[in-house]
Amino acid sequence: MPWSITVARVSGTDVRIHVTFLLFLVWIWAAYYRQGGTPAAWDGVIFVSLLFLCVLLHEFGHVIAARRYGIKTPDITLWPFGGIANLERIPEKPSQELVVAIAGPLVNVAIAAGLILYLWLSGFGAVPANRLAAIEDPANSMIVKLAGANIFLVLFNLIPAFPMDGGRVLRALLATRFSFGRATELAAMVGQGFAVLFGILGIFTNPMLIVIAVFVFLAASAEAGHAQLRDVSRGAIVSDAMITHFRSLSTQSTVNEAADLLIQTTQKEFPIVDGAGKLRGVLTRDAMIRALKEKGPECPVLEATPAQVPTVPARATLEAAIKALQESGAPAVGVADPSGRLVGLLTAENLGEMMMIRAARPKDYQGPWRRRLG
């Protein structure tokens, strides 16, 4: 991710700080400076830094729980609005998702309990609840403020709305009764309900809430989209979804010939196939136009397609193919028969069409996929 600085690497996970977070610290310094001069400014920065250390530990709670199920986390990024652990995938079983989701807030419970216990043991006695709630109060000691902030983090994260952990907990609970897609749909609806509520509250109280509301609303919609794709792809194999009627280019074709095909067909991606029938690349419409402009009509098509295109067997699961499509960033995935010859193509657009058809079908219609797999 651009605009992020990698500051550490902890057992295979990069810890990154987004540039806006550093600006946020500068802003905190300035805001506290205006209130109480230099000492207050540094106090403010130290408090926010410690708070984000707690956020980072929270994210590592998710990371360590996910690792138990064999899921790696390439990176964690700290933003001014919190941390994001970029898990490789969501656990399949609802019970596992529940554990991964709850592990983050549990870290903050432990930190808050530890700090309160420390205060109690070191002779301050029990901390009254109103002290803990007054996170903004400069009269509070740093430890009391941190304990209060950790309790706030737990409560905030347990709001049952995506992208908060509570949204995932809710989905995991729903997924024990409904399909994963339906559970996500329901959890997303609850999340969007909360977003609307935040938005209305924000109008009357704190405009910051409106920003959070928009963020939550969009995150809930995105989550619902991902889950739908996963539900559609489950149990299907590549040959169910691939395009089988398409025109190909040969390795000797020029961009000019490709342009003719673009006009004659409705295709936007053209596979380039060598003499043995193997896929050598995919020429997209955009790459074609760019090559025409920059290199001229006689440019060989292979020179206009820099990216490697992955190939999957026709019997591979659709999930594996979607993963290959997303991870490679290629415009399409080639589908090959056992001898390696290209027999089909899978593009983001035709996956989208499949989702529309799937969504429009009657609920009880199981389709050929379910039948074949029993």
Token pair in block for residue 274: 């060598």
Q: Shortest Cβ distance from residue 160 to Zn ion (Å)?
A: 13
Which one of the spans 113-121, 131-139, 165-173, 184-192 is the region binding Zn ion (CB under 5 A)? Answer: 165-173
How many residues of this chain bind Zn ion (CB under 5 A)?
2
Q: State the amino acid at position 368 in one-letter form.
A: P
Judged by CB under 5 A, the residue of 44, 77, 165, 304 near Zn ion is 165
Length of the chain: 374
**Of 90-98, 147-155, 163-171, 285-293: span binding Zn ion (CB under 5 A):** 163-171
138 contact partners, CB below 8 Å, separation of at least 6: 35, 36, 40, 43
Least separation in angstroms between residue 228's CB and Zn ion is 23
Per CB under 5 A, which region of 19-27, 114-122, 160-168, 267-275 contacts Zn ion?
Answer: 160-168
What is the distance between the alpha carbons of residues 214 and 209, in angstroms, rounded to a whole number? 9
Q: Contacts with Zn ion in 57-96 (CB under 5 A)?
A: none
**Measured CA angle at 242 (ends 238, 243), to 5 deg:** 165
- 104: contact with Zn ion by CB under 5 A: yes
The span of 103-111, 130-138, 200-208, 244-252 binding Zn ion (CB under 5 A) equals 103-111
Q: Are the C-beta atoms of residues 184 and 223 closer than 8 Å to each other?
A: yes
The residues with which 332 forms a beta bridge, in sequence order, are: 347
DSSP codes of every residue in 28-46: HHHHHHHHHHHHHHHHHHH
160 near Zn ion, judged by CB under 5 A: no
Least distance to Zn ion from the beta carbon of 67, Å?
Answer: 15
Q: Which stretch binds Zn ion (CB under 5 A): 140-148, 164-172, 233-241, 253-261?
A: 164-172
User: In degrees to the nearest 10, what's the CA dihedral of 267, 272, 275, 279?
Assistant: -100
Q: In whole angstroms, how close is the CB of 141 to Zn ion at the nearest point?
A: 27
Minimum CB–partner distance for residue 71 and Zn ion (Å): 15
Q: Rank residues 104 and 191 by Cβ distance to Zn ion and give the closer one.
A: 104
Give the neighbor-by-neighbor strand order of the sheet with 279-284.
249-250, 269-273, 279-284
* Residue closest to Zn ion when measured from CB atoms: 104
CB of 85 to Zn ion, least distance (A): 7
Torsions phi, psi of 61, nearest 5? -60, -50
Name the residue among 152, 161, 174, 49 with its Cα closest to residue 105. 152
CA separation for the pair 296, 302 (Å, rounded) = 14
Residue 148 within binding range of Zn ion, rule CB under 5 A: no
Of 162-170, 201-209, 284-292, 333-341, which segment contacts Zn ion by CB under 5 A? 162-170
Q: Which is nearer to Zn ion, 87 or 291 (CB)?
A: 87
**Residues in contact with Zn ion by the rule CB under 5 A:** 104, 165
